[in-house]
Structure 1
Amino acid sequence: MSVNRTLLSVDKSSLIDFISTREEPEWILAERLQALELVEQLPYPKLEKTRLEQWDFGLLGSHVQPRRVSSLQELPAGAASHVVSENVIVGRNSGVAFIRLSDELEGKGVIFTDLDIAVRDHTDLVRPYYMRAIHANENIITALHATARTGGVFLYVPENVHIEVPLQALFVQDQADAIHMPHVLIVAEANSCVTFIENVISSLGSTGSYSTNGMLEVFVKPGAKVSIVSIHNVEASVIDTTYRRAVVEADGAIEWIIGELNEGNAVSDTTTLIQGTGASSDAKIICVGKGGQKLDLTTRAVHFGKHTDSDMLTKAVMTGQSTAIINGITKIEKGASGTNGQQTERVLMLSPEARGDANPILLIDEDDVKAGHAASVGQVNAEQLYYLMSRGINKEEAQRLIINGFLMPVIAEIPYEDVQDQIIQLVERKLGIKGGA
């Protein structure tokens, strides 16, 4: 039996065979089968001015487990250059190829491993959280992920453990017939502190249509602080659909720093559920569109707890005939008194054919709150350009300076210089301006 719904061509019998061969606890096998039934029933996500049913996601593919390697030099060409941490997991296609965790962190009780291993060896830690912030029954994309996901990362930080160095996951898609659905699950116990860096890249060539369907769940316990740096840079032939979601308890804090730097069409949803009193969320996003790219990016903060804070800043640079839908949503639930929710969306147009749609949305069900938004869409300031050129700077260099200045409020927040340089190089390379690697 086949489920052919434009989104993906899914061979149900092959997925059932895959599930039946998995050496996993009964609970997760049951959830996979339940999710498979939902794939046939659920609609596409309802997105603002974006119809996913018109996109060509290609065939689903099959599960291709990578060979485990003992060093980063055995990875595909160029992959190792993205690694900036001594503590790193490299996922390749449908599984994990490399794991490295320092003895020091392991001695503190930190768990950083392949999610497939964690499901079996740390069931008591994984089961309460896996697919509990993102739910299989939300839409066809989440259902398919819950059905076919392999590999991914599980990061567990014990109570009161402060990790001073970042941990990193690099996900590489380099085999055309492989399912690529990485899942990251992070649990930061009370009063812990951690920074996690995620890179998603591809090396498939320019022909065909492919997709990557990644998800990231973060559970921030009371008083914990979690910083997430997520950089996506896949080829034009790959459609990237990404769900990021955090649940933050009392006095906890999450920081999102996101670079949506894909070459092809992309949809992302980054949501923070701010549940506990005194909790906070800070999200900073940059994206760059070129050619005929279509981007639909949503950043959302939902306030449940009292005296909570959220701030969102999105900066987009658009060129060619690219289009971007930028949605910022602040939702303040009844009872979330003393809340402060702010958001800003800025779109810089480098081409008269490019399109940017900034949609700031406030949904407020409580009186005793502060909330505000700002949005702007505009061309490069001609006076700024003229001023720089009048000082002997050529037009290309002047544009590079303006673009870097526009994006720097986000990039400068990244606490690691290597990652800052990586993002600047990706931006400049994508826009075809000098300085790109």
Structure 2
Amino acid sequence: MTTQTILPVNAEGLSQLSKQRQEPTWLTENRLKALELAASLKLPVLEKMRIERWDIQNYGSSKESGSIASLTEVPASIQELVKDQESGSLIIQRNSGVVYTKLAAELSEQGVIFTDLQTAVKEHEELVKTYLHTAVKADEHSVAALHAALWNGGIFLYVPKNVEVKVPLQAVLLTDDEEATFAPHILIIADTNSTVTYVDNYVSGDSSKAVTHNGAVEIFAKSGAKVRYATIHQMGTNVTDLSYRRAIIDNDASMEWIVGEMNSGDTMSDTHTILKGNGSTSDSKIIAVGSGSQKLNYTTRANHFGKSSESQMITRAVMREEAQAIINGITKIEHGATKSDGQQTEKVLMLSPKARGDANPILLIDEDDVKAGHAASVGQVNQEQIYYLMSRGISREVAESLIIYGFLAPVVSQIPLEGLQKQLQAVIEGKLGQ
């Protein structure tokens, strides 16, 4: 059974919105073509889950909040995330548009571009046009098509050749109006031999109505570039999160993903690295905590095309109460990708008899002279460990917490940013009710 996609806007309305934003003709045409595709394409197929049963039609309409001049004006829900950022590089999106943008002067002088994507379309048109929707393509399925038609606000980051950005650039993306479309698009281009770290947080306000976040991330790492992308999603129970992340990396380039899936609502994410170049490397670290009656589907992929390319994927998930999670790891080594090495590990810890976890490691190998391996486990908290800790005077609640943190620690401890480690730890504690 397929579900007909209900379009949240018609062609005339979308064309008018694009005109109001003064978008170039090619972008308006792309949006309209994508909207047409959305009406005909099927929903994406999720492993062992029926996305057509999810509440994913709540796009609202475009509503942009007024810009802010100072971080003292930000909503209370994100004040903690932006404190001490007055001198740093930061972008804030609220609902359908970006409300705050700042790039450190020294980075601007080096040619770094860090702005909202809607501005970049006009000020850096040829650069954006070359890359936009070439990694996450509009014709893949109806969710991707709707994103290509409706995306708003967003982030554009360009790092010139041989430039090393030593301090992380950050963004906060907030949805706190359930009637507003929230579909940010992140586009990052790291030119030859450049280095950059980008960190973002997805947050929602209190909402009584359902909201759909349909987001996409596209990253392009040129030869020798090093890109680190860290993201924490901590949106509420009424937000359904659909996120596609994709990176294409060239010769000797490296891509590192650090993903904290801490939402309280149903979540689907697909984090995909295409190792196009010889000697390219990918490292993906995914942490997830599910609670309540959440439906969660996380997929991490690595596609090896380049010779001597290497990928590492680690996913650790904790499921509470009646949460259900499908964890997929897919390593694909294409014909000709000799000397490649793809490794993956998925582990799920269940804290309740009603919680469900399913780890699916998949290796697809089309070449002989390669290395590949996987490990997967799903299980309950070890009661002997709990009893041992309780025998030392520790309460059951604290004992369980220690075991959970020990389970997640191998991934959290590998995060090279101290601030992000502390933030992720605090979000985990909140999700676990500590």
TM beyond 0.5: yes
TM-superposed deviation, 1:53: 1.1
Corresponding residue SS for 2:77: coil
**Residue 410 (str. 1) matches residue 403 (str. 2):** no
Corresponding residue SS for 1:204: coil
Q: In structure 2, what residue type is equivalent to 1:215?
A: A
8 Å CA contact 1:6, 1:55 repeated in 2: no
Name the CA distance, whole Å, in 2 between partners of 1:418 and 1:45: 35
Find the counterpart in structure 1 of residue 89 from structure 2.
87
Corresponding residue SS for 1:291: coil
Q: Write the mapping of 1:153-302 to structure 2, written as runs, cut at 5 A.
A: 153-205=155-207, 207-302=208-303
Corresponding residue SS for 1:178: coil
8 Å CA contact 2:5, 2:39 repeated in 1: no
Q: Which runs of 5+ in 1 are unaligned?
A: none
Q: Write the mapping of 1:18-97 to structure 2, written as runs, cut at 5 A.
A: 18-83=17-82, 85=85, 86-97=88-99
Q: In structure 2, what residue type is equivalent to 1:403?
A: I
TM-superposed deviation, 1:163: 0.8
Q: In structure 1, what residue type is equivalent to 2:90?
A: V
Corresponding residue SS for 2:164: coil
**Residue 424 (str. 1) matches residue 399 (str. 2):** no
What's the CA shift string for 1:207-236, capped at 9, x where partnerless? Answer: 221111111111000001000111000000
TM-superposed deviation, 1:204: 3.4
Find the counterpart in structure 1 of residue 307 from structure 2.
306
Corresponding residue SS for 2:76: coil
Q: Which runs of 5+ in 2 are unaligned?
A: none
Corresponding residue SS for 2:65: coil
Name the CA distance, whole Å, in 1 between partners of 2:55 and 2:124: 38
TM-superposed deviation, 1:22: 3.3
TM-superposed deviation, 1:391: 1.0
Q: How many residues align?
A: 429
More deviation in 186-195 or 11-20?
A: 11-20
8 Å CA contact 2:274, 2:305 repeated in 1: yes
**Residue 383 (str. 1) matches residue 388 (str. 2):** no
More deviation in 252-261 or 408-417?
A: 408-417
Q: In structure 1, what residue type is equivalent to 2:426?
A: Q
After TM superposition, the score normalised by the length of structure 1 is 0.96
8 Å CA contact 2:114, 2:156 repeated in 1: yes
Q: In structure 2, what residue type is equivalent to 1:63?
A: S
Name the CA distance, whole Å, in 2 between partners of 1:52 and 1:307: 37
Q: Which residue among 105, 110, 115 is the counterpart of 1:103?
A: 105
TM-superposed deviation, 1:104: 0.6
More deviation in 11-20 or 110-119?
A: 11-20
Name the CA distance, whole Å, in 2 between partners of 1:328 and 1:353: 24
Q: In structure 1, what residue type is equivalent to 2:130?
A: P
Corresponding residue SS for 1:127: helix
**TM-align CA RMSD:** 1.4
Name the CA distance, whole Å, in 1 between partners of 2:91 and 2:137: 25
Find the counterpart in structure 1 of residue 127 from structure 2.
125
Find the counterpart in structure 2 of residue 393 from structure 1.
394
TM-superposed deviation, 1:6: 6.4
What's the CA shift string for 1:290-330, capped at 9, x where partnerless? Answer: 11000000000000000000000000000101100000000
Name the CA distance, whole Å, in 1 between partners of 2:20 and 2:70: 29
Which structure 1 residue ranges, 4+ long, deviate > 6 Å from structure 2? Answer: none
TM-superposed deviation, 1:366: 0.5
Name the CA distance, whole Å, in 1 between partners of 2:9 and 2:118: 23
8 Å CA contact 2:249, 2:274 repeated in 1: yes
8 Å CA contact 1:8, 1:57 repeated in 2: no
Q: In structure 2, what residue type is equivalent to 1:267?
A: M
**Residue 365 (str. 1) matches residue 366 (str. 2):** yes
Name the CA distance, whole Å, in 2 between partners of 1:172 and 1:209: 15
